Chains A and B, each alone.
Chain A
Amino acid sequence: MKGIPAFGTLDDPVVRLPRGVRVHQDRVRGVPVLLGPERALMLDQTGNAILSELGDGLHLSVLIGRLAERYNAPFDEIAGDVREFLEELQLQRLVDYADA
């Protein structure tokens, strides 16, 4: 167990999709899907908004700030939703955190 900080142990981690996890535009179902090892998760609008901001990795605070601006919503309110969504994915190792 080394090198992977668990969620909650870092104040402002860099969040990114690890190799082998990607957002795929599902033309048959007409929805974006998160594809990873043994996983295919249909993304709702919130999930898609969060993951499409990530790019090659982003500080959590920057991610939340951008979403708050885009959706014209209070930072703290967005922060709760984003953390909850990402934590669920991190537990499945579909999102990685780093402290740099």
Chain B
Amino acid sequence: MRDLSPPPPAPLALLAELTHRCPLACPYCSNPLELTARETELDTSTWARAFGEAAALGVLQLHLSGGEPASRRDLEELVGTARAEGLYVNLITSGIGLTEVRLDALEAAGLDHVQLSLQGIRPEIADRIGGYRGGFERKVAIARSVKARGIPLTLNAVMHRQNIDDLPETIAFAADLGVRRLEIACVQFYGWALKNRAALQPTREQVDSAKQTVARALQSYRGHLAIDFVPPDYYADYPKACMGGWGSTGLNIAPDGTVLPCHAAQTIRHLTFQRVTETPLGEIWANGQAFQAFRGHDWMREPCRSCARRDIDHGGCRCQAMAIAGDPFAADPVCRHSAARTIVDELLAENGATVEAAPFVYRR
């Protein structure tokens, strides 16, 4: 039967995972457990073509990520190419691999914004989480340099059981540094983070305290520091509107050119993915099986199908339904209406009962 449904609205954002290489080894890395080798990474000209196709498709924001994007020696060239296509270019980095010379070149190429990850606000914890000695000190030096140059800077503080008690100091750290934006992102459990869930899941008391801290900070830093807070969804009553709805606002390209609706989509085994080396990006976005799989409502089952919130949270996260309920068509298991919510509650009860967090399995 011919599909007469209207084409999807144009995507707003492209996350380009330039490489999986990274000097850090964070136990919550969002990259897949099986990392792509350097030999299979797209070359400079293929990335440039993909950026052009993305801009023509309607993408406005380009997030250059990884791994550590500074591991690519052609990062500066890629930034220049993307800017020439009219894209807003955001560099998502740990700061490791950046130098003053490279910052000069990135600035000259027209880099719009830097988002710097923060593993902790003291070397002892930051370097332990990142698995990289001396990383914190280098990161702070890069943050100061970016700030001094006037490039807009966002700190992305990744919070979990082992550092969330430092939240008030983390906010003060960002304000003292003079950054415009702070993202307080509680770890979401995919990939390596799922492997390390027992070590990373905060307790209910920690989450309640963090919410109060954020509420106070929103008032006291109003107009000075824009704060975005991503709470841990296992403690929520309803799921997050993952990706703003599957295949509706953004897309990812993995280092080897595989085009994904989200970074964890490859955990859903019945999906087939296409590569930007073989199929135009616009065709993949409009008609790719993986992109079509969970658009709209037709894929939904109960309780999502008849739920009043189905256009608010879109059934939550497909990858989380896969990871916890073993079924990508199920309601997100964090939802109060999900049959699998009991699994989440059991995990949280187990988590609350353990005093010592489990040891990390580092991404290596």
Contacts and interface: CB of A to CB of B under 8 A. Distances in A.
Interface of A: 1-4, 6-7, 18-22, 24, 26, 28-29, 33, 35-38, 40, 90-93
Question: Considering the complex of A and B, which 3 residue pairs feature the smallest CB-CB distances, nearest first?
Answer: A6-B223, A20-B152, A28-B58
B223 A37 contact: no
A20 B60 contact: no
B154 A35 contact: no
Contacts of A40: 12-13, 60-61, 88
Contacts of A26: 58, 60
Contacts of A33: 60
B88 A6 contact: no
Contacts, number: 72
A93 B226 contact: yes
A33 B175 CA distance: 28
B150 A91 contact: no
B181 interface: yes
Given A1-B224, A24-B86, A37 B113 contact: yes
A98 to B, nearest CB: 13
Contacts of B13: 40
B230 to A, nearest CB: 12
Interface residues of B, number: 30
A1 B115 CA distance: 20
B226 A20 contact: no
Given A20-B152, A93-B226, 19 more contacts: A1-B221, A4-B223, A4-B224, A19-B150, A21-B152, A28-B10, A28-B56, A35-B112, A37-B115, A37-B152, A37-B154, A37-B180, A38-B61, A38-B90, A38-B113, A38-B115, A40-B88, A92-B226, A93-B181
B165 to A, nearest CB: 23
A79 B363 CA distance: 54
Nearest to A5: B223
A21 B112 CA distance: 8
Contacts of B2: none
Contacts of B56: 28
B178 to A, nearest CB: 8
A20 B151 contact: yes
B87 to A, nearest CB: 9
Contacts of A37: 90, 112-113, 115, 152, 154, 180-181
Contacts of B61: 35, 38, 40
Q: Please indicate which of the listed interface residues A4, A20, A26 has the most CB atoms of chain B within 10 Å of its own CB.
A: A20
B152 A24 contact: no
A90 to B, nearest CB: 6
B222 interface: yes
Nearest to A87: B223
B10 A6 contact: no
